Structures are given as structure tokens and as C-alpha cells.
Structure 1
Amino acid sequence: MDDLSIGHLIYLLVLTAMVVFWFFSDAKQSLGKSLQHAVAWGLIILGTIGVISIWDNIESALFGEPQQIVFTDRTAIEITQQIDGHYYLKASLNGAPVDFVVDTGATSIVLSQEDAKRVGFDPDDLKFTGRARTANGVVATASVIVDDFAVGPFRDQNVLAEVNQGSLDISLLGMSYLSNYGQITISGGKMTLTR
């Protein structure tokens, strides 16, 4: 049991002791009214215990890694929409993990400078001769070739990508990659990419 769990357990024990003390010291009220209050407090305590026991699942759903499921027939990937409304996908580029936001409005794959370094491209050695129009204006880009681009069971070789010279919080997975899939379906908070 970790320190957080012990702290929660002590808190619940103190809360339970206070409720039991209140229940027995409140003899002025009728027994029926006292039982109603005891049941209400019991339900509150059980609810608190329930939330604490599944807190890791709640935290993971709200703030954790993107959920990416590969179907058993290995012909599709299903991505769950996150709380911010976006779809995130984890890929392996030249063996390095890279998180992307799936952006059907982006023309190409756009890597942040940090992700480019992780994949093996030094931004200081790149020639930023390209231009991309973004919501924040025009930015300079450098073209690179990713030797190995893997998403779940799908692997592509020699994939063209752009490295953004400006600041970019997360890399973008645009239509130049998404067009490798025969069907893109968005329904019920899920995006399905099918080959």
C-alpha cells in the first residue's frame, strides 16, 4: 500500500468514526431519522471508497496516454477522442516513439523540432526552404524522409515528412500519411483508420 492509499484509509476511518460518534450521540432524534442519516452517510463513504478505488482509471481517461486499439483482424486502428476533442496517435518513427495529433486539415506529416531530434534529424543541419501556411501564419519547413514509420501493425518505408522551424507543441499527422488508409471513419467519439 502506498502513502496515498494509507492517507485515504486513515481519512475514511476518521470520517467513519465521526459518523458513528454522531449517530450514537444524537439520541434526541427518533431512531428512524437517525437510521436515515446513518444510511446516507454510509452511502457517501461507500461512494468515496469507490471513487478512490477507480481513481487511476479516471485519471488515465482524462489525462493519460491516448487510447489506441488495434483490431484483432489487424486491418484497422481505432482511436478514442480525448477530452479536448482531438484524436491522438502514437507512432514509431525510425524506432523512436512519437505522439501525433491526427489532423485531417493538415496536408502533410509535420514534426516538431523535439520529435525530429528524437527520430534522428538534427534541426541545425536541416535546410528550412519550404513554407507552410498555419493558423498562426507562415512557417519555414524542412523536408525529411523517415525510413521506417510504424503505427500498430502498419509499417511504411521512406515516408516524407516536414520539420517545423517554428514552435509546435505536438507533431501533426496529416493527409499525406492518412491517405495510406482506404477508409477513415469518425463516429461516436472514435476514429477508425482501415487499410
Structure 2
Amino acid sequence: MSHLLAPPKAVYVAAGQGELQLPRHRDGHFYVDGAINGVPVQFMVDTGASLVSVSDAVAQEAGLQGGRSARFSTAGGTRQGRIVASDTLRLAGFTLQGVEVGTGLNVGSSNQALLGQNVLRHFDMQIERDRMVLRPR
């Protein structure tokens, strides 16, 4: 059953500078598999989030230590966390370096993460019906 409920996989198209095509999940969101410092995560695109955010478990596994203390305002209220720079953040065929990541996110499974504006600003984003397309700027 979990296979049937899993979000459809994003497709990386290598033509030109490349683009990422994300089909809309039945819950209305867009998801893409990726990694932070080599640790696999499933990103949910969140255009309202300022930063990429991960759970404490992902942060620990990815070696996201130190950084600065921060308070995050979320739909579920305010939470305490940290802001730490990652070494690498990967989305399909795209790799970014030094991306700031907020820790302390509590959603679904521990490997889920939010893909915020600090990564989305590197892409032109277009939504075409039930598909989001991300193209590098």
C-alpha cells in the first residue's frame, strides 16, 4: 500500500542546461528525491519556506553540526532549531554547495525535508497543470 501512496518520482531531463520535472502528488504537493551531504532525503517543495529544513535525525546523520540557534515560525507554531551550512545538496542532476539548512523539522517520516526558497531561487519555476518544472538560472 505504501508503494501506491508514495509520491510519483521526479524526472531529470538532461537536454540543454537540464530541468527537473516534478509530478503533483495526490496530496497536492510536489516531491523530489535528493540528498544533503550524501544523506538521502525526500524533499517537499515549500514555496513558503525561507530555508531548506530537515529533522534532527537527518541533521545528525548528515553531519550538520554547529551553526547558529534560530526560532522558526511554521504552520504548526514556533519551533527552536539551528541553521547550519551543508557541504552539498543534491536534487537529481543538480548539486549546490554551502546551502543553509534549518534543523528541527518534524514532519511525516524522518527522511522528509522541506525545499525552501534558498534553493528554489537558483531555478526558474513553472507549474503546468499537475507538473512543476525547475530550470537552472
2:98 aligns to what SS in structure 1? Answer: strand
Q: How far apart, CA to CA, are the structure 2 residues paired with 1:145 and 1:127?
A: 7
The equivalent of 1:116 in structure 2 is 59
The equivalent of 1:184 in structure 2 is 125
Q: Rate the CA distance shift 1:137–1:128 in 2: closer, same or farther, 3 A.
A: farther
Percent of residue pairs bearing the same amino acid type = 27
Structure 2: runs of 5+ lacking an equivalent: none
Q: 1:174 is aligned with what amino acid? A: G
Deviation at 1:72, TM superposition (A): 3.2
Q: What is the TM-score of this pair, normalised by structure 2?
A: 0.85
Which fold has the larger relative contact order, with Cα–Cα distance below 8 Å and residues 6 or more apart in sequence? 2
Q: How far apart, CA to CA, are the structure 2 residues paired with 1:84 and 1:146?
A: 29
Q: How do residues 27-42 of structure 1 correspond to structure 2 at under 5 angstroms?
A: none
Structure 1: runs of 5+ lacking an equivalent: 1-57
Q: How many residues align?
A: 132
The answer as to whether partners of 1:88 and 1:100 remain within 8 angstroms in 2 is: yes
Select the structure that is richer in helix.
1
Q: CA RMSD in A?
A: 2.1
Give yes or no for the alignment of 1:85 onto 2:24.
no
Q: What is the TM-score of this pair, normalised by structure 1?
A: 0.61
For the pair shown, which has the larger CA radius of gyration, 1 or 2? 1
The equivalent of 2:84 in structure 1 is 144
Q: Rate the CA distance shift 1:178–1:127 in 2: closer, same or farther, 3 A.
A: closer
The equivalent of 1:72 in structure 2 is 14
Q: Rate the CA distance shift 1:98–1:138 in 2: closer, same or farther, 3 A.
A: same
Q: 1:167 is aligned with what amino acid? A: N
